[in-house]
Structure 1
Amino acid sequence: IKKNVLAKKELENTHLRLTTILNASAVGIYGLDMNGKTTFCNPSAAAMIGCSIDEIVGKNQHELIHHSRMDGSPYPVEDCYIYSALHLQASYTVRDEVFWRKDGTSFQVEYISTPLFEDGVQKGAVVTFKDISAQKHIEQERETLLTEMEQMNMELKNFAHVVSHDLKEPLRGIAFNSKWLVQDYGGILGNEGKEYLDRLIDNSERMSNLINGLLKFTEVGNIEELSVPVKTGPLVENIVKSLPLYEDIKVEIQPPMPEVIYSPVRLEQVFQNLIVNGVRHFGKKKGKVVVSCSDNGDLWQFVVWDNGQGIHPQYFDKIFEIFQSLAPKKSSDSTGIGLALVKKIVEQNGGEINVKSEVGKFSEFRFTVPKMV
């Protein structure tokens, strides 16, 4: 007798715990018998449906809350996945249907319908569900925003090409006519006049370089580019060969240089900008620029180092911003886009870039490239 009392007490405690969990759950939960009638329902389910628990228990679940599809058309019970759990003894997870409230409005749900067995015999099914209307609304807004952003990116790309063409054409005319004036009328213009025209030519070239840089910057991430195996050693060697000759500034490539998966054009832009930046802004009569790489586990870390004039720490972040340059404004070669372009390419390809420097001693640019398995 004592054992029976203890067993009954344990059964009551278990039932109490389950009832507490059921009532406290924020997810809607209800049970069905083999005829599709509701056997129990928790408060969350009743609240979402807009009925009292007494109005739900004993009623045909399909006729009460699942009678119609999202568009209002009838939902035949034989097509219902909840009833499939009853008759096919299978569990179903559904995310694109609605339940109907007492007031006739619907809400989007995600539900799981699972057969319920006792002693190996199916007695019905248990359905858990949650209202995902807000989530669906957010997803729809996100899709709309993504579509709008894609359209805006395409328009920006087309705008950049059109504007660059329209701007470069008159610039070429200005530069050509200015050179023609210097050649044919230099004697009449005098030194001061020729100086003004030289400034005009330099400014035209700087503007042209700026437009070209902007085009390259806007293209990154906006066009489909194929990443292929690239041997970085030969790629850097070709860049060095194409550089203007600087007798007292040497560029060294320290092997080994790995093969990486990258867009060849973009990787060339990264190395070229970093190497040219080191040479052009060296600031000393002689020295060297060194390109190397190290294996950092899941990443390759490339380094472009030089023992030139260095960079003050206060400019470490500024140099990666577009239109920011530490070179004199009169320089037509410096557009302030090169390092911003490098940063954008590196980050678009899953890497990071940073700079270390000591004024008067060295500068070191490090960027990473993820390894592809």
Structure 2
Amino acid sequence: MTRNPQAESPSTKVLSRRLTLIAVGVVLTVSLLYGSYHVFTMRAAALQAREAALQQRASFYAGQISWVFREMQDQAATLARHPPVAGIIRASADPHAIDPADGSSLEQWKDRLAVIMANKMEVHPHFTNMRLITAADGWREFVRVDRGDGGPLRVAEEALQIKGAEPYLARLKASPSTLPYFSEITYNREHGKPDGGPVTIRFIQPIRGPAGGLFGALVFNADYELLLQTARPEVLRNQRVAVVNSAGDYLIFEPEGRTSRLHHNTDPGFRPLPEVEALGNRLGEHAFANLDEEMVYLSSVPIRNTLHFPVKLGVMTFGKRDALDGPIAGVVLRHALLTVVLVGFAGAITHLMAAEVGARFENLTHAVHQSHARLGWTLRNMADGLITISGEGRIEEINPAAEAMFGYAAEEVAGQPLTMLMFPDDADGHQGHVGRSQVGPQRTKMAGNREIYGRHKSGRRVPIEISVSRAELNGETKFIGMVRDITERHAAERRLSELVTQLRRSNEDLDQFAYVASHDLKAPLRVIQNASQWLAEDLDPHLTDDTRESLALLQGRARRMERLLNDLLEHSRIGRTNQPDEAVTGPDFVASLTDLLNIPAGMHFETEGFDRVTLPLMPLQVVLLNLVSNAIKHHDRPDGSVLLSLTERSEAWHFTVADDGPGIAPAFHERVFKIFQTLRPRDEVEGSGMGLAIVRKHVEVAGGRIELISDGTRGTVFHLTWPRRAGTAVEGLAA
């Protein structure tokens, strides 16, 4: 209930007057002091703030630039420690070019190193090439990966160059024991002269053999401009940032992400940055300068002391000198007016706050009581049991759900050890389980790898699930346990186990049936086939046309029955046996499928979309073979056509099998997918009627989708969606 501010009590009025006087006095004092200080220090403070901001941002950007070069060095050092480098050294020393450590050939190690280099260049777009150059054979390139238009590309063996005359190797050749270093910043060179490529900086990482001798060097080429842009400084609206070096090269970062091109000292018409000339030769140290209308701060880029770096690097931040020469009288007037407003506002607001504070305190007290009541109602009506436990393991409170779960009233368990709700086996190791569980403020599920049973007052076992959290109250440790009765879950798990057992038994019966169909039923058929064949051969002189036709009909019916049994057996095994996990390219898939098809003369079979894909061979081949074979077999013209097309999607492949045959009436669209169903008599078109049933079951097991579209007059289209990660068989459980 909120108090009415208009009905103030005497104590509230006294509080209001006192607070008003205090507020007015404080506002006047602070306003006068601040106004005086503000007038005399406004200009100096603004200038100092601007200088500090420029210094801070310059130092920050310098650290970012430093990190870019350290990261380039670290990448080279990491690659030098990769196994392919050591493998190349060992294999090169072997007369047969075989690594004695693991039997890999020198070419295999070179291939592996090239793959690692390509991966690094994918991640770091500023690297233009990476090379392993050996000291032997005039410092010839041994492995090289360049950045091409389509990405990293390994350079062929015959295109590798001899780099012994390049300036960036002179330091290493003169002092083989030298440490890693950066080269001069120049335009890229190929075959001993500039090739029109970008301005390049190179990092040379010496490679030494097991005895410490110089084997060669890893050389990382980086586009100097892209390398600097990797730092991506966030330039403020009224600022510019420039990265400069002692050779005169510079790159300016403009506001809003605009970046000027790199200016190299060898460029035609190169003009040095004027601010660099104003600061003089101060690269390598921190410096500040006030120019005519601009302030400039130069921060040195820190480079590791162990590295040789060809130039000194610096970051310059520029800022405009904002004029702070406004009339002092205007500042004083504005400050005086503000003071009057603040005094009046402080007096008014303080008077209102005195009454409001009292009302809010009363409302807060009422809200606390309501919150306590809601919490009590929540605890009483929770479906799960709630137990609060002291640090010594004694029960303090339980809610009604816990009372019903364990059969005790709250008064009976208060102050009793928690182990009274456990059976002896769990009670003995209770404290150890709590200690090992590392219970913290977050809820922790107890005994996740074993079953827990609570002890009911009657002595019966209650299967439970417990989550425990720990909290501090007035310096004392408390535990809060959430207890759930999972009796119904246990019953459901038992029922599920029984169903699984029944399903396994059913599948065993199905396996037995498949065995009978495959062996016991086929044996008589083979006898009939052989006997009819023998009769036809032995009695050929005595047979009439009618008897020959009857024997041929008998043999055909026997073959049809064998095909029916084979297709029925295949249908029963779909989803219960794992297919070979073999992937083939699209052209190989089409070639294999075409080899299995019996395409009559005059019939045209075409494919689309298989050029750049890789597909699982089985059971996808079985599905498409059935669809294409049906389209050919059931065509009503000798010069028909069948088109198999593929569309690649992110989660699945979409196949379309389209023919210009007689079509399938909509009334039969569902019937054709059932077993032993044919739309034409088997004497006209030989078949078991199982093909599309096998197709649908394969598709359903894989988690795909198949759709038939035809108006029954001309042409049929099957749309097949096959997921990229098709379902696999689970032994003993597939139905």
Instruction: Give yes or no for TM over 0.5.
Output: yes
TM-score normalised to the size of structure 1? 0.88
**In structure 1, what residue type is equivalent to 2:400?**
P
Contact 1:154/1:222, CA 8 A, preserved across alignment: no
**1:346·1:352 contact (CA, 8 Å) conserved in 2?**
yes
Higher mean displacement: 85-94 or 151-160? 85-94
Structure 1 residues 185-217: Cα deviation after superposition (integer angstroms, max 9, x where no partner):
245342332222222111100001011112211
Which residue among 92, 99, 103 is the counterpart of 2:454?
Answer: 99
Which of residues 102, 112, 123 is equivalent to 2:477? 123
Aligned 1:294-309 pairs, distance under 5 A: 294-309=647-662
The answer to whether the 8 A contact 2:579-2:619 is kept is no
For residue 109 of structure 1, what is the amino acid of its counterpart? I
Structure-2 change in CA distance of 1:321 and 1:233 (3 Å): farther
Q: How does 1:67-82 map to 2 (within 5 A)?
A: 67-69=423-425, 75-81=428-434
| Map 1:132-143 → 2, pairs under 5 A | 132-143=486-497
Structure 2 counterpart SS, 1:290: strand
Q: State how far apart, in whole Å, the 2-side matches of 1:28 and 1:308 are.
A: 69
Is 1:56 paired with 2:410? no
1:78–1:241 CA distance, 2 compared to 1 (3 A): closer
| Distance verdict in 2 for CA 1:241–1:346, change over 3 Å | same
CA-to-partner distance for each residue in 1:249-292, whole Å, 9 max, x for gaps? Answer: 21111233553453x23122111111111000112332101000
Counterpart for residue 328 of structure 1: 681
Q: CA deviation at 1:363?
A: 0.6
Tell me whether 1:165 sits opposite 2:519 in the alignment: yes
Matching of residues 117-266 of structure 1 within 5 Å: 117-118=472-473, 121-257=475-611, 259-260=613-614, 262=616, 264-266=617-619
Inter-CA distance 90–282: structure 2 relative to 1 (3 Å threshold): closer
Q: Give the secondary-structure state (helix, strand or coil) at the position aligned to 2:521.
A: helix
Q: State the SS of the aligned residue for 2:719.
A: strand
Once the two structures are TM-superposed, the CA of residue 35 in structure 1 deviates from its matched residue by 2.5
Provide the residue aligned with 2:258 in structure 1: none
Correspondence for 1:357 among 705, 710, 713: 710
Moved more, 288-297 or 184-193: 184-193
Q: Gaps (5+ residues) in structure 1?
A: none
Residue equivalent to 1:293:
646
Q: What's the CA shift for 1:170?
A: 1.8
The worse-fitting range, judged by mean Cα deviation, of 167-176 and 148-157 is: 148-157
Q: What residue in structure 1 maps to residue 468 of structure 2? A: 113
> Given the superposition, is the C-alpha separation of residues 259 and 40 from structure 1 closer, same or farther in structure 2, using an over 3 Å criterion?
same
Are the aligned partners of 2:517 and 2:569 in contact in 1 as well (CA < 8 Å)? no
1:102 Cα shift?
1.0
**For the Cα contact (< 8 Å) 2:580–2:618, is it kept in 1?**
no
Alignment deviations for residues 48-107 of structure 1 (CA, whole Å, 9 cap, x no partner): 1122232233322222x12335xxx764443343x7789988853125201111111111
More off after superposition, 124-133 vs 158-167: 158-167
The code of the aligned residue for 2:549 comes to E
Contact 1:261 1:372 in 2 (8 A): no
Structure 2 residue 400 is matched with structure 1 residue 43 = yes
Q: Which residue of 2 aligns with 1:66?
A: 422
The residue type equivalent to 2:391 in the other structure is M
RMSD between aligned alpha carbons? Answer: 2.7
Structure 2 spans left out of the alignment, 5+ residues: 1-357, 727-735
SS in structure 2 at match of 1:265: coil
Say if 1:48 and 1:126 are closer, same or farther in 2 by CA, change over 3 A: same
Deviation, structure 1 residue 219: 2.0
Does the 8 Å contact 1:30/1:40 carry over to 2?
A: yes
Contact preservation (8 Å) 2:386, 2:483: yes
Q: 1:294 to 1:9 in 2, by over 3 A?
A: same
* Aligned CA distance change for structure 1 residues 56 and 324 (closer, same or farther; 3 Å): farther
Rate the CA distance shift 1:292–1:103 in 2: closer, same or farther, 3 A: same
1:233 & 1:216 partners in 2: Cα distance?
Answer: 27
Per the alignment, residue 79 of structure 2 pairs with none
Deviation of 1:11 after TM superposition, in Å, equals: 2.0
Residue 358 of structure 1 aligns to a residue in which SS?
coil
Instruction: Give the Å deviation of 1:360.
Output: 2.5
- SS of residue in 1 equivalent to 2:465: strand
Measured against aligned partners, the alpha-carbon deviations of 1:82-137 in whole angstroms (never above 9, x if no partner) come to x7789988853125201111111111111111112125x34311111111121122
User: How far does residue 3 in structure 1 lie from its aligned partner after superposition?
Assistant: 5.8
Aligned to 1:20: 377
Look up the SS of the partner of 1:237 in the other structure. Answer: helix
Opposite residue 33 of structure 1, the aligned amino acid is S
Which stretch of the first structure deviates more once superposed, 264-273 or 328-337? Answer: 328-337
1:202-243 deviation digits (Å, cap 9, x = unpaired): 110000101111221122211223433232432233322343
Which residue identity does 1:67 align to in structure 2?
A: F
Distance across 1 between alignment mates of 2:379 and 2:596: 74
2-side partners of 1:331 and 1:50: how far apart? 78
Counterpart-to-counterpart distance in 1, 2:508 and 2:612 = 35
Q: Which letter maps to 1:110?
A: E
Contact in 1 for aligned 2:581/2:618 (Cα 8 Å): no
Question: Which of 626, 640, 654 is the equivalent residue of 1:273?
Answer: 626
Q: Which amino acid counterpart does residue 221 of structure 1 have in structure 2?
A: G
**Residue in structure 1 matched with residue 699 of structure 2 by the alignment:** 346
| Aligned partners of 2:394 and 2:416 also within 8 Å | yes
Match of 2:55 in 1: none
* Kept after mapping to 1: 8 A contact 2:640/2:660: yes
Counterpart contact for 1:260–1:371, Cα < 8 Å: no
Report the CA distance shift for 1:333/1:258 in structure 2 as closer, same or farther (over 3 A). Answer: farther
Aligned 8 A contact 1:356 1:363 in 2: yes
Matched-pair contact (CA < 8 Å) for 1:209–1:332:
no
State whether residues 705 and 721 of structure 2, in contact with CA within 8 Å, keep that contact through their aligned partners in structure 1.
Answer: yes
Paired residue type of 1:93: K
- Which structure is larger by alpha-carbon Rg, 1 or 2? 2
TM-score, with normalisation over the residues of structure 2? 0.47
